[in-house]
C-alpha cells in the first residue's frame, strides 16, 4: 500500500510501496515528454513502415517499453513529485537504458554506493530487477521509505523459486549470474534454511548438469566450474537429486524451454519415468513482454530486409537476445544511442554474443535500403525515433 505522507509512522514506512502515490495522471505528460516520440507514433499509426527517400524502415510489431518499465517510471516520477525535498536513492540502475538513468540523475536521484549513510528520513527506490533479500532487509531495518518498482514478472519467478526451496528442490536458474535480476532471484532461496540454487548460462552448461545427474564426470571438476555460481556448500551429489527450473525473465525463451527439457530427460533417464513427478519441477517464467518482442523480431526478419538495427542498453539482457535472433539471418547492429551512428560508413555497436562495443564500416549500403528496427523492453520510443532520424540525416535523404 502506498505511504501517503512524510509523517507516516516509522513502522509503516518500512513496508515497500508498490502501488504509487496516486499521482500517475500528474506525471503522465512529463514522462511522455521525456521518453516518447511523435515520429515513432506516426510510423506505428501507418502500419509500421516509414519511407524516407531511398530508405525504408520497418518497425517490429512489438518493441520498446514494456508494462514493467512503464510501472517503474511511474513510481519514480510520482516519488519525485510527492517528495521534492527528500533525498532519494536507487539501489542500482532502475532499468538497463542509459537515457532513462541519465534522466533520473538529472532529476536528482542518486545511486546507492557502499558506505553511503542511509537514514530513516531517506527514500530508496528498488529497481525493476528487484534487489537481494539481504539488501531489502537491511533497508527495512533502517526504516527508510522503500518504493519498490520490481516488475511483477520478476516477483512471479521469486514465488516459484521460494516454492522450490520450501519443498526441498534445488532451483536451477537459467540466467546470467551477475545480472541484477538473477542476483535477486537466487537470493530468495536464502529465505529457507535448506534452500539451494545453481545458475546455468546456456545449453552447454545445462549439458554439464545433465551429465552429472547421469553419473558422468567428476565431483571435483564439476565444483571447480560451478561452485562459484551455486549456493555456498553446494553438493551436486545431494543437490541435483530434486531440481526445479526457473529463468531470468529476459533470457531467450526457446533456450530456456530446451534446457528444462534436457534436465527433465536426464532425471527420467537416471531415476526412471515414475520418479520424474517427485524429482523435477518446471515452469516457464519468461515474461510475456520478452516473449512478444522475441516473436516480433522473428516475424520481422522474415520480411525482405537489408539489415537490422536493435536499439537498447548494452547491459540489457532482453535487447542482447533480440540482436542474437536477428543476427542469425541478417547484418545486425545493436546500438545504445543515436551517437553510435557515426556516419553513413561508420557505426559503433555491440555484436551478437559479444561483451564489447566495436566499430564497423560500410554498414549502410548504397541505393535503396530496407532497415528493420526493434528495441529492447527498456528502450524509450524517443531513442528509437532519434536513431531513425539520425540514419535519415546520415543518408542525406531528408
C-beta atoms surrounding 93 within 10 Å: 20
In a domain, 15, yes or no: no
Give residues with Cβ within 8 angstroms of 93, minimum separation 6: 101, 111, 127, 180, 315
Least confident range from 112-116, 233-237, 312-316: namely 112-116
Q: Does residue 163 sit in the same domain as residue 250?
A: yes
In a domain, 25, yes or no: no
> Does the pLDDT value for residue 251 go beyond 60?
yes
pLDDT at 17: 72
In a domain, 19, yes or no: no
End-of-domain residue from the set 115, 150, 185:
150
C-beta atoms surrounding 361 within 10 Å: 9
Q: Report pLDDT digits (tens) over 155-196.
A: 999 999 999 999 999 999 999 999 999 999 999 999 999 999
pLDDT at 16: 57
Lateral strand order in the sheet of 280-282 = 197-200, 170-174, 243-247, 280-282
pLDDT at 14: 45
Instruction: Please classify residue 140 by burial: count the beta carbons closer than 10 Å to its beta carbon, then call 0-12 exposed, 13-18 middle and 19+ buried.
Output: middle
Q: Does residue 183 sit in the same domain as residue 305?
A: no
Could you tell me the CATH number of the domain that includes residue 40?
Answer: 3.40.1010.20
**How far is residue 268's CA from residue 260's CA, in Å, rounded to a whole number?**
12
* pLDDT category of residue 2 using cuts at 50, 70 and 90: very low
Q: Does residue 166 sit in the same domain as residue 240?
A: yes
**Contact indicator for 242, 170 with CB cutoff of 8 Å:** yes
In a domain, 21, yes or no: no
* Percent over 90 (pLDDT), the chain: 91
Average pLDDT over residues 252-271: 96
Q: Does residue 102 sit in the same domain as residue 83?
A: yes
The partner residues of 245 in beta bridges, in order of sequence, read 172, 282
Q: Which residues of 293-313 are buried (b: 16+ CB within 10 A; e: fewer)?
A: bbebbbebbeeebbbbbbbbb
pLDDT at 323: 98
In a domain, 22, yes or no: no
Q: Does residue 251 sit in the same domain as residue 328?
A: no
Average pLDDT over residues 231-258: 96
Q: What is the pTM of this model?
A: 0.91
Q: Does residue 144 sit in the same domain as residue 233?
A: no
End-of-domain residue from the set 95, 122, 150:
150
Q: Does residue 281 sit in the same domain as residue 301?
A: no
Q: Does residue 305 sit in the same domain as residue 188?
A: no
> Does the pLDDT value for residue 3 go beyond 70?
no
Could you tell me the CATH number of the domain that includes residue 82?
Answer: 3.40.50.11270
Q: Report pLDDT digits (tens) over 195-219.
A: 999 999 999 999 999 999 999 989 9
> Does the pLDDT value for residue 31 go beyond 90?
yes
pLDDT at 4: 34
Query: Residue 226 is part of which domain span?
Result: 153-286
In a domain, 27, yes or no: no
Q: What radius of gyration, in Å, describes the C-alpha atoms of the chain?
A: 23
Q: Does residue 160 sit in the same domain as residue 249?
A: yes
* pLDDT category of residue 9 using cuts at 50, 70 and 90: very low
Q: Report pLDDT digits (tens) over 134-149.
A: 999 999 999 999 999 9
Q: Report pLDDT digits (tens) over 280-308.
A: 999 877 788 999 999 999 999 999 999 99
At which residue does the C-alpha cell 526457473 appear? 246
pLDDT at 8: 35
Q: Which residue has the higher pLDDT, 277 or 8?
A: 277
C-beta atoms surrounding 132 within 10 Å: 17
**Contact indicator for 277, 44 with CB cutoff of 8 Å:** no
Q: Report pLDDT digits (tens) over 354-376.
A: 999 999 999 999 999 999 999 99
Instruction: Please give the mean pLDDT across all residues of the chain.
Output: 94
Q: Does residue 105 sit in the same domain as residue 117?
A: yes
> Does the pLDDT value for residue 102 go beyond 60?
yes
pLDDT at 5: 36
In a domain, 375, yes or no: yes
Q: Hey, what's the cell of 352?
A: 551478437
**How far is residue 23's CA from residue 140's CA, in Å, rounded to a whole number?**
24
* pLDDT category of residue 398 using cuts at 50, 70 and 90: low
In a domain, 9, yes or no: no
Q: Report pLDDT digits (tens) over 34-86.
A: 999 999 999 999 999 999 999 999 999 999 999 999 999 999 999 999 999 99
End-of-domain residue from the set 286, 315, 338:
286
β pairing state of 55-59 and 369-375: parallel
Q: Report pLDDT digits (tens) over 305-330.
A: 999 999 999 999 999 999 999 999 99
Q: Does residue 246 sit in the same domain as residue 299?
A: no
SS3 labels along the chain: CCCCCCCCCHHHHCCCECCCCCCHHHHHHHHHHHHCCHHHHHHHHCCCEEEECCEEEEECCCCCCCHHHHHHHHHHHHHHHHCCCCCEEECCCCCCCHHHHHHHHHCCCEECCCCCCCCCCCEEEECCCCCCHHHHHHHHHHCCEEEECCCHHHHHHHHHHHHHHHCCCEEEEECCCCCHHHHHHHHHHHHCCCCCEEEECCHHHHHHHHHHHCCCCCHHHHHHHHHHHECCCCCHHHHCCCEEEEECCCCCHHHHHHHHHHHHHHHHHHHCHHHHHHHEEECCCCCHHHHHHHHHHHHHCCCCCCEEEEECCCCCHHHHHHHHHHHCCCCEEEECCHHHECCCCEEEECCCCCCCCEEEECCCCCCCEEEEEEECCCCCHHHHHHHHHHHHHHHCCC
Q: Does residue 308 sit in the same domain as residue 265?
A: no
CA distances in angstroms from 31 to 3, 71, 84, 124, 244, listed in the order given = 22, 11, 17, 20, 40
Q: How many domains does the chain have?
A: 3
Catalytic residues: 181
* pLDDT category of residue 13 using cuts at 50, 70 and 90: very low
Amino acid at each position: 500500500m502506498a505511504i501517503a505522507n512524510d509523517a507516516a509512522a516509522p513502522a509503516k514506512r518500512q513496508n515497500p510501496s508498490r502501488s504509487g502515490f496516486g499521482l500517475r495522471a500528474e506525471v503522465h505528460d512529463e514522462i511522455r515528454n521525456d521518453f516518447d516520440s511523435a515520429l515513432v507514433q506516426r510510423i506505428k499509426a501507418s502500419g509500421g513502415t516509414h519511407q524516407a527517400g531511398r530508405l525504408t524502415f520497418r518497425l517490429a510489431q512489438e518493441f520498446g517499453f514494456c508494462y514493467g518499465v512503464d510501472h517503474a517510471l511511474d513510481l519514480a516520477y510520482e516519488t519525485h513529485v510527492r517528495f521534492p525535498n527528500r533525498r532519494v536513492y536507487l539501489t542500482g540502475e532502475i532499468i538497463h537504458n542509459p537515457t532513462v538513468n541519465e534522466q533520473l540523475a538529472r532529476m536528482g536521484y542518486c545511486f546507492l554506493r557502499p558506505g553511503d549513510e542511509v537514514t530513516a528520513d531517506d527514500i530508496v527506490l528498488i529497481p525493476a530487477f528487484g534487489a537481494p533479500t539481504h539488501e531489502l532487509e537491511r533497508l527495512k531495518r533502517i526504516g527508510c521509505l522503500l518504493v519498490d518498482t520490481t516488475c511483477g514478472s520478476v516477483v512471479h519467478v521469486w514465488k516459484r523459486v521460494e516454492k522450490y526451496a520450501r519443498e526441498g528442490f534445488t532451483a536451477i536458474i537459467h540466467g546470467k549470474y551477475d545480472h541484477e535480476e538473477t542476483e535477486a532471484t537466487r537470493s530468495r532461496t536464502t529465505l529457507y534454511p535448506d534452500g539451494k540454487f545453481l545458475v546455468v548460462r546456456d545449453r552447454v552448461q545445462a549439458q554439464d548438469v545433465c551429465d552429472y545427474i547421469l553419473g558422468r564426470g567428476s565431483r571435483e571438476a564439476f565444483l571447480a566450474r560451478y561452485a562459484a555460481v551455486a549456493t555456498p556448500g553446494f553438493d551436486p551429489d545431494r543437490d541435483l537429486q530434486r531440481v526445479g527450473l526457473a529463468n531470468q525473465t529476459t533470457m531467450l525463451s526457446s533456450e530456456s524451454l530446451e534446457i528444462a527439457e534436457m534436465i527433465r530427460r536426464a532425471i527420467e533417464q537416471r531415476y526412471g519415468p515414475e520418479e520424474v513427478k517427485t524429482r523435477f519441477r518446471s515452469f516457464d517464467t519468461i515474461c510475456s513482454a520478452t516473449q512478444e518482442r522475441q516473436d516480433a523480431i522473428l516475424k520481422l526478419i522474415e520480411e525482405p530486409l537489408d539489415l537490422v538495427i536493435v536499439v537498447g542498453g548494452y547491459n540489457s539482457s532482453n535487447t542482447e537476445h533480440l540482436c542474437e535472433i536477428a543476427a542469425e539471418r541478417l547484418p545486425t547492429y545493436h546500438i545504445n544511442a543515436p551517437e553510435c551512428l557515426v556516419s553513413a560508413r561508420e557505426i559503433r555497436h555491440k555484436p551478437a554474443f559479444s561483451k564489447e562495443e566495436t566499430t564497423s564500416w560500410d554498414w549502410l549500403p548504397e541505393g535503396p535500403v530496407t532497415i528493420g528496427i526493434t528495441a529492447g523492453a527498456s528502450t524509450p520510443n524517443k531513442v528509437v525515433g532519434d536513431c531513425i532520424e539520425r540514419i535519415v540525416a546520415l543518408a542525406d535523404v531528408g
